[in-house]
Chains A and B, each alone.
Chain A
Amino acid sequence: MAGRFDAAPYARQACRGRRQCTGAYANSLRVDGDLFRADLDYQRPWNLSEAWPGRRSGVARRRAVDRIGAAVEFRRRGVGVGETPIRVALQGGDMKIFALQKHARILSIVSKASVQDLGQIKVLGIQSLGSSTHNFWLWYARQRKLSESQVQFVHTNSSAKNYLALKSGRVGAAIFGPPFDVQAQQEGFRLLVEGMKNPQPFPATCYFATVGFLNKRPEAARRFVESMKEAVQLFHEDKTATLKVIERRLRL
């Protein structure tokens, strides 16, 4: 469709020259069709919350979205697949999810060379239970009608550690994204599911706030949601504006 494009090469190119991205990655900023994913720096995933398109594009300011108590006030704990607010709520805390965002997940399921099919995986490295990587596996396992209990999970806390766990032989397969999947493939590991070639419309981000905040300032939360919708729409349709936003985000 006209006006829709894949911005990932631009983001990767932009990151190449940036010192703070050394050893990290400009993962993907794929803007095509229904898919949207923005992860620009592996080393600081929480800092780079998916709220940034709204902020950097100026949409948030236009909609008068200030420190709304979600991704902004909680900063590094404002976004995630949902485990943080759920954990807080289950432990009696004052926390509610008020928006959900879909992405194109580009995680890969990588195994040692001897594993040739998802059904052969016995020990799988994930970041944590309830994480994107865990949910990604559950989603795939259900699609393939595999038993969810066929694998033993090993928590590693990060993609980098997932990759290292695979290299060390601690796990037979692991879930992670670029650049580790490319590195792993070059080192002879097998990409059972290749994320970059097969991005999945997978929900991986929720926005949450305290119930007190949502009761006290519901309009601020609504403005936040509206600004994110507008920003994502902008990324879908306006290449020039999107490239400007990427430049600002990367401080080029």
Chain B
Amino acid sequence: MRRDLSLQYDVIDNALAETKRLLGAGAKRPDYTVGDVIDKSFVTVVR
């Protein structure tokens, strides 16, 4: 299993895209990216 976080980011990115699509115009922060929603100063791989 890869130790990097790219797969996790992919999953979060999927969730972000789908949630944006779901919220549509209701999203107050439509420009949010994976980098915005994750605090990378803490993020680590628990495995």
Is B a genuine binding partner of A?
Answer: yes
A positions within 8 Å CB-CB of B: 33-36, 81-83, 85-87, 89-92, 95-102, 129-130, 134-135, 138-139, 201-204, 206, 211, 214, 218, 221-222, 225, 228-229, 232
In the complex, which of the residues B11, B21, B29, B46 has the most CB atoms of chain A within 10 Å of its own CB atom? Answer: B46
Interface contact A91-B23, CB-CB below 8 Å: yes
CB-defined A-B contacts under 8 Å, sample of 30: A34-B1, A34-B47, A86-B12, A86-B32, A89-B32, A89-B37, A90-B23, A90-B28, A92-B29, A95-B37, A96-B37, A96-B39, A97-B37, A97-B38, A98-B39, A98-B43, A100-B46, A102-B45, A130-B14, A130-B15, A130-B19, A134-B14, A201-B7, A202-B11, A203-B11, A218-B42, A225-B42, A228-B46, A229-B47, A232-B46
Closest to B21 in A: A129
A135 to B20, CA, bound (A): 15
Which of B21, B27, B37 interacts with A85 by CB under 8 Å?
Answer: B37
Q: Which 4 A-B pairs have the closest CB atoms?
A: A98-B42, A92-B28, A34-B1, A130-B15
B positions within 8 Å CB-CB of A: 1, 5, 7-8, 11-12, 14-16, 18-23, 26-30, 32, 36-39, 41-47
Q: Which residues of B contact A100 (CB under 8 A)?
A: 5, 8, 12, 38, 43-46
Q: Which residues of A contact B28 (CB under 8 A)?
A: 90-92
In the complex, which of the residues A91, A130, A139, A232 has the most CB atoms of chain B within 10 Å of its own CB atom? Answer: A130
Q: Which residues of B contact A129 (CB under 8 A)?
A: 18-19, 21-22
Q: Which residues of A contact B12 (CB under 8 A)?
A: 82, 86, 97, 100, 206
Closest to B5 in A: A100
A134 CB → nearest B CB, Å: 7
Q: Which residues of B contact A99 (CB under 8 A)?
A: 42-44, 46
A222 to B39, CA, bound (A): 12
